[in-house]
Structure 1
Amino acid sequence: MRKRIVFTGGGSAGHVTVNLALMPHFLREGWKVAYIGSEAGIERELVTRIEGVRYFGIATGKWRRYFDWKNASDPLRVLKGVWQAHRLLRSIRPDVVFSKGGFVSVPVVLASRLHNVPVVLHESDLTPGLANRIAIPFARTVCTTFPDTLSHIPGGKGEHVGAVVREELKRGTRERGYALTGFVPGRPVLLVMGGSLGSQRINRAIRDNAKALLERFQIVHICGKGQVDAALHLPGYRQYEYVQEELADLLAIADLVVSRAGSNAIFEFLALRKPMLLIPLSQAASRGDQVQNARSFERQGFCEVLEEEGWSDSAFLAAVQRVADKRGEFARRMEQAELGDPLSRLLGVIKATAGR
């Protein structure tokens, strides 16, 4: 009988990318693959493109770090999601559930306990987020990207596997990248990313300083959904709302990157040896995980970090200049990093869990 696996995770691309890297392997090996995500989140858009994966949407809620009346109603949506996930798991009868986190994953993990389906969690950040902290007691194994995360996983169920990077990102070509952008070889390319949802702060910094930056760089600006400035047209500047297959080719021509500090993204830049200026979400706007991620990379000599507190245009331009001047040093440090084969390790953990 064919083995069955259910993937879950969503809310942002960072809670989906590892799943996107794993699913093709299970499909090639003949597994039945299903995905339980939110009814209208970005995960639906990303996953439904993959032939052979059945997608199911459920109700979900989240806890906001600010006052919002939805904080009172969303627990009811979570309970509804648990019931929906329970019915789906009863029908699918998976051998294992793999959860990448995000609040859509919580109902699926809770429902898995009702069916005695083993759960493998994956935590990308240095410390677990709230959704994974809720889910950890119900998991068989918690796989981590950072080795230091193991100290935050109780019960001895943590296992360090490293950072899983999508193989397709390594297949980009400079020829396609230049053809896509219309850029010319020989001038450095600055790639700007603010995450799948975009960063208004980074977008504003790039646009306010575009002329100064274009004196030295050609700029690829991935703005985020709904954040393209249709009135801005400058030679050597290309903006995109969001890219998927094209990202590999855009990364192939990038000489340095300005980005938020989500774990999946920065490890992809590390694997591709792209010097980085990381601008993490502030602790006022998040739980501080991106600050921890960025500082860890800074200590290892992979990047410069510019925090939003005390921000100024002059500080931003100076930080970009420092990364450009030191990009050879950053690249050498990244070449020395021991990345191993995290994808194979993670596949092994999931298959072993399914076979118990």
Structure 2
Amino acid sequence: MKKIVLTGGGTAGHVTPNIALVPKLKESGFEIKYIGTYNGMEKQLVEDAGLDYIGISSGKLRRYFSWKNFSDPFRVLKGYFEAKKFMKKYKPDVVFSKGGFVTVPVVYAASKYKIPVIIHESDMTPGLANKLAIKKSTKVCHNFPETAAYLGSKAVHTGSPIRKELFEGNKITALDMCGFSANKPVIMVTGGSLGAENVNKLVRKALPELLKNFQVAHLCGKGKVDESLKDIEGYAQFEYISDEMKDFFAMADLIISRAGANSICEIAALNKPNILIPLSARASRGDQILNAKSYKKQGFSEVIDEDTATAEDLVNTVNSVYENRSKYIDAMKKSAGTGGVDMIVDLINSLVK
């Protein structure tokens, strides 16, 4: 049987694309192992998916000063030797890395034994972990056409692996959960599993105007439900949803979202008209801003600046996108990079001796 090691961790965006590959990999005859940190958030997600999980030591790779910068290199080195020991014993045919700081020792250990490595870069520009790992990779899959310029001959434009179940949602299930009517369009607002405070504030300021023409399903993040708004007709708040996400996607006529690469790839693959509010460069390395600009350029999205947007700006953009929704849907349908499971698994198979 062919053997593959999947790796990725730190955020759900580094794990769920790996899990999206699993059914097709099993269909192709692969035995699958997953390497992550000892007790990272990826551990539960991977074990829930029924995969064998191997934990290794890991330290975060930082561009800024922290006292942990003095100890974390030793954790990374320990992780490298743990990964190397596993590679020597398991002898995988190929490694697929989705990114996150845990992947660097795994990729370097695979390279030590000349095991082919495929990396997937979600964002427009590679993060620090992938920058280090790309040197030891065989091929690098990417989401955005512009990313190829950073990758050279290793680049393969595949789009992101999208979970099959996201295409199988039940609109009625989500409408019932929200207490919504089937006769009025629905906006879904999402800021990721932790929510997005600035997005929440903007949407709630715009709520009186939005509710005139739309119903709003708001995934606002843990601890961010506004009790004063709980009884407003046409507005439903949830801290977080998991299994029902496919149903909410099916229900949504328009989505307001942050611009994390994994989230927007799912939105595009499902052909949902959308407005992106990227995380400010003050709070990140600016990757969400680049992601959002690319999606606007490709005709998939409209973009709002969270630092300057008003409630009126949001309402006007919502109305414009909804009125012209067919334009955005057509652009997403024509895209070659909105669901890369088949392309990635074919690439993996091509590297197995």
Instruction: Please report the TM-score for the alignment, with normalisation by the length of structure 1.
Output: 0.90
Matched residue SS, 1:33: strand
Q: Does 1:291 align with 2:289?
A: yes
Looking at structure 2, the residues matched to 338 and 215 of structure 1 have their Cα atoms a distance apart, in angstroms, of 37
Q: Distance in 1 between matches of 2:211 and 2:338?
A: 37
AA matched with 2:195: G
Residue by residue over 1:76-108, the C-alpha shift from the partner in whole angstroms, topping out at 9 and shown as x without a partner, is 222222222223323332111100011121121
2:243 to 237, 242, 245: 245
Gaps of 5+ in 1: none
Q: 1:219 maps to which residue?
A: 216
Q: Larger deviation: 306-315 or 182-191?
A: 306-315
Deviation at 1:254, TM superposition (A): 0.2
Q: Verify: 1:88 aligned to 2:86, yes or no.
A: yes
Give the letter for the 1:25 counterpart: K
Q: Is 1:195 aligned to residue 185 of structure 2?
A: no
In structure 2, do the counterparts of structure 1 residues 226 and 8 end up closer, same or farther at CA, with 3 Å as the change threshold? farther
Q: CA deviation at 1:239?
A: 2.5
Q: Which residue of 2 aligns with 1:144?
A: 142
Most deviating of 63-72 and 118-127: 63-72
Partner residue in 2 for 1:48: 47
Deviations 1:13-51 (CA, angstroms, capped at 9, x unpaired): 211222111012222344221111123333222211112
Deviations 1:169-214 (A, max 9, x none): 1111212222332211011111111123322221232334434433
Task: Provide the rounded CA distance (Å) in 2 between the counterparts of 1:29 and 1:60.
Answer: 31
The equivalent of 2:265 in structure 1 is 267
Segment of structure 1 superposing worse, 257-266 or 32-41: 32-41
CA contact (8 A) 2:4 2:33 kept: yes
Aligned residues: 352
Select 2:348's aligned residue among 335, 350, 354.
350
1:302-348 CA deviation, whole Å, 9 max, x = no partner? 21101223233333333333323332332233333345863221101
Q: Which residue of 2 aligns with 1:12?
A: 11
Aligned pair in 2 of structure 1 residues 225, 114: CA closer, same or farther (>3 Å)?
farther
Contact residue 191 and residue 219 of structure 1 kept, 8 A: yes
Cα shift at 1:290: 1.4
Contact 2:5–2:95 (Cα < 8 Å) also in 1: yes
Residue 171 (1) aligns with residue 168 (2) = yes
How far, CA to CA, are the matches of 2:251 and 2:222 in structure 1?
23
Query: Any idea what the Cα deviations from partners look like across 1:277-315, whole Å, max 9, x if unmatched?
Result: 101122222222211111111112221101223233333
The alpha-carbon distance between structure 1 residues 195 and 275, as it changes in their structure 2 partners (threshold 3 A), is: same
Q: Which ranges of structure 2 fall in alignment gaps of 5 or more residues?
A: none
Query: In percent, how many aligned pairs have the same letter?
Result: 45
Deviations 1:99-128 (A, max 9, x none): 001112112112212332221101122221
Aligned mates of 2:102, 2:11 — CA distance in 1? 11
Which of 233, 236, 251 matches 1:235? 233
Contact in 2 for aligned 1:15/1:102 (Cα 8 Å) = yes
- 259-268 or 311-320: bigger deviation: 311-320
Match of 1:27 in 2: 26
**More divergent stretch after superposition (157-166 vs 343-352):** 157-166
Any idea what the Cα deviations from partners look like across 1:241-276, whole Å, max 9, x if unmatched? 332221111011101001111222212211211111
Secondary structure of 1:153's aligned partner:
helix
Partners of 2:199 and 2:306 within 8 A in 1: no
Task: Give the Cα–Cα distance (whole angstroms) in 2 for the partners of residues 313 and 40 of structure 1.
Answer: 41
| Most deviating of 30-39 and 68-77 | 68-77
User: Are the equivalent residues in 2 in contact too, given 1:12–1:196 (CA < 8 A)?
Assistant: no
Q: Can you list the C-alpha shifts for 1:48-94, whole angstroms capped at 9, x where unaligned?
A: 1112x101222222234554333333222222222222233233321
Residue deviations 1:119-174 (CA, integer Å, cap 9, x gap): 110112222111110001111111122232222114x2222223332221111121
Q: Which residue of 2 aligns with 1:206?
A: 203
Aligned-partner SS, 1:138: coil
TM-score, normalised relative to structure 2:
0.91
Indicate if the aligned counterparts of 2:202 and 2:310 stay in contact, CA closer than 8 A.
no
User: Cα RMSD (Å) of the superposition?
Assistant: 2.2
Matches of 1:131 and 1:117, distance apart in 2? 19
